[in-house]
Amino acid sequence: MIGSNTEKLLGTENHRKLRDSRVLLVGAGGIGCELLKNLVLMGFGEIHVVDLDTIDLSNLNRQFLFRQRDIKQSKATTAVKAIEHVSNSKLVAHQANIMDVDNFPLRWFDQFAIIFNALDNLEARRYVNQMTQFLHKPLLESGTAGFDGYIQPIIPGFTECFDCTTKETPKTFPVCTIRSTPSQLIHCIVWAKNFLFPQLFAPSGSTTTEEDLGTNNAEEIKRIQQETNEFHELQEYAKAGDETKISDIIEKIFVHDIEKLLKIEELWKIREKPTPFYNVVVGESLNPNLNVVWSIQEEANAFAHATRKLMRRMVVEKQIEFDKDDTDTMEFVSTAANIRAHVFNLPRKSLFDIKQIAGNIIPAIATTNAVIAGLSALASLRVLNLIKSKSEIKPLELNMAFTAKASNISSNRYLSNPQLAPPNPRCPVCSIIRGVVHIPSSALKTTKLSDLIESMRDKFLYPGDISLLDKSTQRLLADYDFEDLLEKTLAEINIKYGTILSISDERCDEEELRSTLDLYIDNGGDSSNFELPDVEVPLYKALKAENDEEEEEVEENVVQQASTTGEIIVDQEEKSKKRQLDDAWEPATKMPKIDDDSGVILLD
């Protein structure tokens, strides 16, 4: 019987708590399928699964809850159906984006004892992290990439949050490197995938503004813009499916455009000059082996072949998106990149290798997902204090885990599991004081922005000089010289449920400033008005530094002082702010209860 072993391991009392707990799993992909199976086997009372996506053929090798017949079906629903018949847990599937506030307002998250992230992108991870910070809800963050993986329990207010450390974002290149002076094959691949392909086959594609170009060379800027304009003609050929123009396309992009580039002498003073791809005669022979580097003639043949097929499709489809698994688009991008690499005297690669790069493919390893999902499930028992005969575990006694390869800290250990660190006092997310504004929908239509600001001033003791930002859209709503919106109602300026407002003290010459406060706008409150949260917004010492060096020194002093006074000094956008940890601490209204002093999580 599922769960009966867990009872022996946890003891009757803890097992009952586990059975009474409702948990949320976000993502039913590689880690999510494994984790759902684990959570069901452990016997959590109720498990909600959220995933926005449908099942793809390529998921089947590692997402064991899915079968061929499930392709195109909802991941969340299918995962639940696949395991329902062996489950003692109540399972609820949601096919939706976790960031959709209409489906999942902040208070919806509050029903869960713990939230498991099994996601694959920074945006959604950051979003859930933020929601758990508002609610002081434990979060079990996890991720894998190839053989690497990690789990990180996050106990808001007590341990580092997801954003306490900076995360690597996808690499970008200056436009001029991509459009004029590639020096690596990757630049040619980006050009083929992000510029050439959309120019020809997705005509609503990008336009380039001067600021994005990454160059001041007027001649080069003019050439790049002219080149973009000339592509409109080629687009027309593509749209009309005019196959007789394929040699003109080759001539334009690999000969004429290169000749124009060569005329900008400035560019070639420190670089090797490209050689236009003259006298190309396209033939029929194609190399079927995708794992070898083709001859340049084979590349040209395959480029013409792929272009022909895409042109035929354009007549029907009108617009084609690049997809690494769409053979025609992949062959086009790979051959275009390799011919450009040949022109710029750069080493070429096989179509298979270029597919890995163009599709950002890091192979997903089922075993890594299983290890990480197992650790995530185990860690949740420690986070929720359900381990038998263990004294209560405080947040900073909990462990994270990551593969040594990911961390580079040890060459002969696969897994490291250090204890969690306290919140980073400079974290842009968890160092901010937060609260929830409850407002009935009728009041959104009648409350003026000035009313809300006035109430915030009264309640949180902000001065006259403040700025108010809509964090969800990065809009400035009000500050000392922007008052245009004050007389508008909240609905008129598009403040709605799920909007996060951020109010800051903007006084210049004060020694002490009021901390920044983030407010989540949520449904509720009495029938006619809004209710501001009962949070205390402390003052912090405004530190002025003459130069960076001095600022560093001042901050160091303050952080040291913090450890003796129990205050945390945070640096937000070059200002230092202080707060009492407990001021920001509001225990969740439902389970789990977290002991205010120790942060220990106690299930009822």
Ligand X SMILES: Nc1ncnc2c1ncn2[C@@H]1O[C@H](COP(=O)(O)OP(=O)(O)OP(=O)(O)O)[C@@H](O)[C@H]1O
Please enumerate, by residue number, every residue annotated as part of a binding site for ATP: 27-32, 51, 59-62, 75, 120-125
The site map against ligand X for 334-353 (x = CB under 6 A) is --------------------
Q: Which of residues 164 and 433 has its CB atom nearest to Zn ion in the complex?
A: 164
Task: Give the binding range for ligand X (CB under 6 A) out of 117-125, 338-346, 395-403, 461-469.
Answer: 117-125
CA distance 100 to 414: 37
Q: Which of 3, 30, 157, 440 binds ligand X (CB under 6 A)?
A: 30
Q: Which of residues 155 and 452 has its CB atom nearest to Zn ion in the complex?
A: 155
Q: Which of 7, 46, 53, 451 binds ligand X (CB under 6 A)?
A: 53
Span between the terminal Cα atoms of the chain, in Å? 24
Our answer to whether residue 33 is catalytic in this structure is: no
Q: Which of residues 166 and 474 has its CB atom nearest to Zn ion in the complex?
A: 166
CA distance 38 to 24: 13
Burial of 396 (0-12, 13-18, 19+ CB in 10 A): middle
Provide the minimum distance between the beta carbon of 285 and ligand X in the complex, in angstroms, as a whole number.
Answer: 34
Question: Rule CB under 5 A: is residue 128 a binding residue for Zn ion?
Answer: no
Question: Minimal CA–CA distance to 331: which of 347, 314, 362, 308?
Answer: 308
CA distance 395 to 397: 5
Q: Which of residues 30 and 156 has its CB atom nearest to ligand X in the complex?
A: 30
Provide the minimum distance between the beta carbon of 126 and Zn ion in the complex, in angstroms, as a whole number.
Answer: 10
- The active-site residue, picked from 33, 176, 188, 508, is 176
Provide the minimum distance between the beta carbon of 487 and Zn ion in the complex, in angstroms, as a whole number.
Answer: 37
Site residues (CB under 5 A) for Zn ion, limited to 338-367: none
CA distance 464 to 299: 67
Burial of 238 (0-12, 13-18, 19+ CB in 10 A): buried
Contact criterion met (CB below 8 Å) for 311 and 242: yes
Site residues (CB under 5 A) for Zn ion, limited to 468-487: none
Instruction: Write out the DSSP string of 311-338.
Output: HHHHHHHS-----TT-HHHHHHHHHHHH
Burial letters 475-507, b for 16+ CB under 10 A, else e: eebbeeeeeebbeebbeebebbbbbbbbbbbbb
Q: Which residues are annotated as a binding site for Zn(2+)?
A: 161, 164, 427, 430
Q: Which of 50, 224, 249, 280 binds ligand X (CB under 6 A)?
A: 50
Paired with 578 in beta bridges are 569
CA distance 232 to 304: 19
Binding-site size, Zn ion (CB under 5 A): 6
Q: Which of residues 26 and 444 has its CB atom nearest to ligand X in the complex?
A: 26
Contact partner, 161, from ligand X, Zn ion, none, Cβ < 5-8 Å per class: Zn ion
Contact partner, 538, from Zn ion, ligand X, none, Cβ < 5-8 Å per class: none
Coil vs helix vs strand at 170: coil
Q: Which of residues 295 and 473 has its CB atom nearest to ligand X in the complex?
A: 473
Long-range contact list for 12-16, CB < 8 A, 24+ apart? 14/386, 14/387, 14/388, 15/43
Q: Which of 49, 106, 114, 124 binds ligand X (CB under 6 A)?
A: 124
Question: Minimal CA–CA distance to 427: which of 165, 157, 174, 117?
Answer: 165
The site map against Zn ion for 129-168 (x = CB under 5 A) is --------------------------------x-xx----
Cα 273 off chain centre by:
39
Question: Rule CB under 6 A: is residue 148 a binding residue for ligand X?
Answer: no
Question: Rule CB under 6 A: is residue 149 a binding residue for ligand X?
Answer: no
Kindly list the catalytic residues.
Answer: 176
Which residues are near ligand X by CB under 6 A?
27-30, 32, 50-53, 58-59, 75, 97-99, 119-121, 124, 364
